[in-house]
Amino acid sequence: MENTSASVQSTTEARTAIFELTTADNRENPVYLAGDFNNWDAADERFRFQRVAERQYRLQVTIASGTPPSFTYKYTRGSWEDVEMDRYGNEAARRVFKTDQLLVQDVVPRWKQNGLFYNPALLPEKVIISEAFEIPQLIKTRRIAVLLPHQYAASDQHYPVLYLQDGQNLYDEYAPFGNWGVDKKMAVLAEQGMGDVIIVAIDHGEESRIAEFTPPLQTRLGRGDGKKYVRFLADTLKPFIDKHFRTLPEREHTGMGGSSMGGLITIYAGFMYPEVYSKLMVFSPSLWVAPNIHFNLMGLDEIYHLKIYLYGGGAEGKYMIPNMQRFAAAVAQQKANTHIDVNLSVNPQGQHTEARWGEEFPKAIEWLFFHQESARTPPL
């Protein structure tokens, strides 16, 4: 394949294909096509686009006879430090071109710049509230941190709040299993007008993590300390946060989230305290521990509107997706007790990793906090 005079072989006689690219980035850096047809050369002058208007580029290539029926490709601005990204700052998937196409029209919503997918000036401010915040319900202490919107100190605005479990894994560059990159993803969201959320990061209890995240129900791990833990969040930590920071304290502006066992305790907390939380970010929940956790909805005597962003990956074991689907279906049947919107997100190749949850995080923030209208997602 070549631009104008070069060639990418085709299964038939030589012909011409046009690539048209639109991007939100108006930098003047040149745009290149890189793929398996040119050994992924990020700055191959044969595949340099012509800038035809602001944010619009065009490349004409010749498909020569004998080319395989398809190839994969990406867009760059001359290096892999300046490659295309998705709108949330995640690595863009490889695109596929079928060589019988005559016109390709693509959009690149975001690029890396010098290896960064976010604007450092928009990073949230990290504040350690305490390395040993007292948890009277458990007679323990814990590190608690907050991530404040980048403009927090320069404004008098009040903000919604999201409480997240497993604080060690949210933004610590030295976390042993990686981290979600919450600080960087909030910077990306801030650029799109969706960074106005205070994040409260609660460290897990190390060897006590499983017990604290296990609800006090008949579970496959026995009865845990989950009730005491969620009481700490609702009765001790939230009042402290609301007192010391400019929050929007009402339930309509308060969310909770977590992954794996942290996802399970998030569900339990949301169902135990519907008067406190209206938004649940539930990633890869360990529903196998308490498959009937939805029955906690049955006791609600008021009608609450609850939003649940439910994510899981197909590479997390054969029961992850079916368990989530059953949970979503059971929740949907509780219409008499409460109104629940569920956004069920499934990545067939998704793994049980901090990095994958970090990729999903900005999508969940957008849906939970910035969608004024939400449609119930039917269980699959």
Residues 256-285: tens digit of each pLDDT: 999 999 999 999 999 999 999 999 999 999
**Tell me, what's the pLDDT at 61?**
93
User: How many CA atoms, within 13 angstroms, populate the side-chain half-sphere of residue 13?
Assistant: 0
Range 303-310 average pLDDT: 90
**Tell me, what's the pLDDT at 71?**
93
**Residues whose CB falls within 8 Å of the CB of residue 32, separated by 6 or more in sequence, listed in order:** 42, 43, 44, 47, 48, 49, 75, 76, 77, 78
142 neighbors 129 (Cβ within 8 angstroms): no
Tell me the C-alpha distance between 232 and 226, whole Å.
Answer: 10
In the chain, % of residues over pLDDT 70: 91
**Tell me, what's the pLDDT at 301?**
64
Q: 239-243, 303-307, 376-380 — which is least confidently predicted?
A: 376-380
Closest among 75, 45, 48 to 59, alpha carbons compared: 48
Tell me the C-alpha distance between 93 and 230, whole Å.
Answer: 38
- Is pLDDT at 336 greater than 80 in this prediction? no
Give φ, ψ of 68 to 5 degrees. -60, 160
**Tell me, what's the pLDDT at 118?**
96
**Tell me, what's the pLDDT at 249?**
98
- Is pLDDT at 379 greater than 60 in this prediction? no
More confident residue, 304 or 123: 123
H or E element in which residue 229 lies: helix 226-231
**Tell me, what's the pLDDT at 6?**
44
Residues in the chain: 380
Tell me the C-alpha distance between 83 and 40, whole Å.
Answer: 12
pLDDT digits over 183-230, tens only?
Answer: 999 999 999 999 999 999 999 999 999 999 999 887 888 888 999 999
Provide the sign of the torsion angle of the four alpha carbons 331, 292, 230, 260, taken in this order. negative
- Is pLDDT at 294 greater than 60 in this prediction? yes
- Is pLDDT at 126 greater than 80 in this prediction? yes
- Is pLDDT at 328 greater than 70 in this prediction? yes
- Is pLDDT at 305 greater than 80 in this prediction? yes
74 neighbors 31 (Cβ within 8 angstroms): no
- Is pLDDT at 335 greater than 70 in this prediction? no
Range 13-26 average pLDDT: 90
Can you list the domains of the chain with their CATH numbers?
A: 2-111 (2.60.40.10), 120-370 (3.40.50.1820)
- Is pLDDT at 17 greater than 90 in this prediction? yes
- Is pLDDT at 128 greater than 50 in this prediction? yes
Range 218-243 average pLDDT: 94
Range 285-295 average pLDDT: 89
**Residues whose CB falls within 8 Å of the CB of residue 362, separated by 6 or more in sequence, listed in order:** 88, 89, 185, 186, 188, 189, 194
**Tell me, what's the pLDDT at 380?**
37
**Tell me, what's the pLDDT at 10?**
31
Tell me the C-alpha distance between 358 and 45, whole Å.
Answer: 35
More confident residue, 338 or 75: 75
The DSSP output letter for 122 is G
**What is the overall mean pLDDT for the chain?**
91
Tell me the C-alpha distance between 365 and 178, whole Å.
Answer: 20
Q: Where are the alpha helices (DSSP H) in 232-309?
A: 238-244, 261-272
- Is pLDDT at 295 greater than 90 in this prediction? no
- Is pLDDT at 4 greater than 50 in this prediction? no
Tell me the C-alpha distance between 277 and 254, whole Å.
Answer: 5
In the chain, % of residues over pLDDT 90: 78
274 neighbors 307 (Cβ within 8 angstroms): no
204 neighbors 167 (Cβ within 8 angstroms): yes
- Is pLDDT at 39 greater than 60 in this prediction? yes
**Tell me, what's the pLDDT at 3?**
52
